[in-house]
């Protein structure tokens, strides 16, 4: 059982750890002193022990004293606290800058500056549903595991920019002593410099809807050589997976891709079988929108539907949107036979 903050792996994290410990000890000492006096009264000044009440009811000296002394104790606490917060907020001179975007309910990462510039991927919970539903035993990192970890090198100053696509999320990794809200429409920033390699886990810390508890953050701190190798591999993989925007697809090509996009983006609400969780999350099977004109469905995916939890998904690529729309129109008994092409999405975007 853990009784204190997670062991920090940054200098700032150690400052926070020490500050918390200092505060706890100071508060603990005052607590014991004050309630020592009170419990002395409780035991000694009892009516049942025949104690007669005194009649005093004020003492200006004592009252001034116990107003002034806490001021000095607080000043003593404020000093280290101020130093820590000033260091924490200095996000200048970063080696690598990464943008973390909160989506309902996953994290998108874009490496904006420094080694690895141009890398971008989405990181989603990888714990299987049967574990959540208690059908199989839970794994060691239950709910704290993702398909794509954020990889950064040890010893470098990493600046994290946070923003969000739909609602407010918060990027929190306790061992790095970092927590920053991700606010839609705004960019916030924070930073860390890890002193140890290893894998560190955190979670979204701002209530962001139904799957708020299922939005982990996993940061893998590696050596500089390992990082260089990872960047190289990731770049090649991204180049290989890049879509040709003008390609015309067949339904057989798009549906397997669409199934993956659906599982990562839609299944949390509409369920893997398309049945949804009515009335909050409507079924897609037999849905008027899915079986209706393509334009209507494209519009909802691009712009969301106000007054409901259906968010805009325009951050997905044209090919991904085309794939997922084609998939929903041809799965679970929906059989329109229609294929939506990336070019259709492109037109709709404009």
Partner 1 sequence: MAAIPGGADHAHDHDHHQPSGIMRWVTTTNHKDIGSMYLWFSFAMFLVGGVMALVIRAELFQPGLQVVDPDRFNQMTTLHGLIMVFGAIMPAFVGFANWMIPLMIGASDMAFARMNNWSFWLLPPAAILLTSSLLVPGGAAASGWTLYPPLTVQMGIGMDMAIFAVHILGISSIMGSINIVTTLLNMRAPGMTLMKMPLFCWTWLITAYLVIAVMPVLAGAVTMILTDRHFGTSFFNAAGGGDPVLYQHIFWFFGHPEVYIIAIPAFGVVSQVIPAFSRKPLFGYASMVYATSSIAILSFIVWAHHMYTVGMPVAGQLYFMFATMLIAIPTGVKVFNWVATMWRGSLSFETPMLFSIGFLFLFTLGGFSGLVLSMTAVDIQLHDSYYVVAHFHYVMVAGALFSAYAGAYYWLPKWTGHMYDEKLGKLHFWLSIVFFNMTFFVQHFLGLAGMPRRIPDYSLQFAEFNMISSIGAFGFGLSQLVFLIVVLKCIKGGEKASAKPWDGAEGLEWTVPSPAPHHTFETPPVFK
The number of CA neighbours under 13 Å toward the Cβ of 147 is 15
128 binds partner 1 (CB under 8 A): no
Distance CA 189, CA 91 (A): 7
- The footprint of partner 1 on residues 258-317 (CB under 8 A) is 277, 279-280, 306-309, 311
Long-range contact pairs involving 36-39 (C-beta distance under 8 Å, separation at least 24) = none
- The footprint of partner 1 on residues 147-166 (CB under 8 A) is 166
Alpha carbon separation from 124 to 63, 108, 184, 217 (Å, rounded)? 57, 9, 19, 9
CB contact set of 186 (below 8 Å; sequence gap of 6+): 163
67 binds partner 1 (CB under 8 A): yes
Q: Tell me which of 61, 93, 140, 240 binds partner 1, using CB under 8 A.
A: 140
- The footprint of partner 1 on residues 179-218 (CB under 8 A) is 179-181, 183-186, 188-189, 201-214
84 binds partner 1 (CB under 8 A): yes
**Closer residue to partner 1 in complex, CB, 149/181:** 181
**Closer residue to partner 1 in complex, CB, 45/260:** 45
Least Cβ distance, residue 13 to partner 1 (angstroms) = 8
Tell me the two tokens of residue 321. Answer: 């949107």
Contact 175, 184 (CB under 8 A): no
Closest CA to 101 of 302, 312, 348, 310: 312
Could you tell me which stretch among 83-91, 147-155, 191-199, 239-247 binds partner 1 (CB under 8 A)? 83-91
First to last CA, the chain: 55
55 binds partner 1 (CB under 8 A): yes
132 binds partner 1 (CB under 8 A): yes
349 binds partner 1 (CB under 8 A): no
Least Cβ distance, residue 106 to partner 1 (angstroms) = 15
Distance CA 108, CA 121 (A): 6
Q: Residues in contact with partner 1, total (CB under 8 A)?
A: 100
Least Cβ distance, residue 283 to partner 1 (angstroms) = 14
Least Cβ distance, residue 338 to partner 1 (angstroms) = 29
Least Cβ distance, residue 205 to partner 1 (angstroms) = 4
- The footprint of partner 1 on residues 163-182 (CB under 8 A) is 166-168, 170, 172, 174, 177, 179-181
Contact 101, 190 (CB under 8 A): no
Tell me the two tokens of residue 172. Answer: 């929190």
């Amino acid at each position: 059982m853990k009784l204190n903050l997670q062991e920090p792996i940054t200098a700032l994290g150690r400052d926070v750890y020490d500050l918390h410990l200092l505060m706890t000890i100071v508060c603990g000492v005052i607590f014991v002193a004050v309630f020592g006096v009170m419990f002395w009264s409780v035991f000694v000044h009892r009516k049942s022990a025949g104690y007669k009440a005194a009649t005093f009811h004020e003492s200006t000296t004592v009252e001034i004293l116990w107003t002034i002394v806490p001021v000095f104790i607080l000043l003593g606490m404020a000093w280290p606290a101020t130093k820590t917060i000033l260091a924490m907020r200095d996000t200048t001179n970063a080696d690598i800058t990464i943008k973390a975007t909160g989506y309902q309910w996953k994290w998108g990462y874009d490496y904006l500056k420094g080694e690895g510039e141009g890398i971008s991927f989405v990181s989603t919970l990888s714990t299987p549903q049967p574990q959540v539903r208690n059908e199989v035993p839970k794994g060691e990192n239950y709910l704290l595991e993702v398909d794509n970890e954020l990889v950064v090198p040890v010893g470098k100053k990493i600046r994290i920019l946070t923003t969000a696509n739909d609602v407010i999320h918060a990027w929190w990794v306790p061992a790095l002593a970092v927590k920053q809200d991700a606010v839609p429409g705004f960019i916030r920033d924070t930073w860390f410099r890890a002193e140890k390699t290893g894998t560190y886990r955190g979670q979204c810390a701002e209530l962001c809807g139904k799957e708020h508890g299922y939005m982990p953050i996993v940061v893998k701190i590696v050596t500089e050589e390992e990082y260089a190798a990872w960047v190289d591999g990731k770049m090649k993989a991204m180049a290989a997976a890049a879509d040709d925007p003008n390609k015309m697809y067949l339904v057989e090509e798009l549906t397997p891709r669409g199934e993956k996009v659906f599982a990562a983006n839609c299944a949390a609400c509409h369920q893997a079988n398309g049945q949804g969780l009515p009335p909050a999350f409507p079924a897609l099977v037999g849905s008027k929108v899915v079986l209706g004109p393509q334009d209507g469905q494209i519009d909802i995916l691009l712009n969301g539907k106000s007054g409901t939890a259906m968010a805009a998904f325009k951050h997905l690529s044209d090919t991904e949107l085309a794939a997922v729309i084609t998939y929903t129109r041809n799965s679970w008994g929906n059989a329109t036979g229609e294929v939506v092409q990336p070019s259709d999405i492109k037109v709709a975007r404009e």
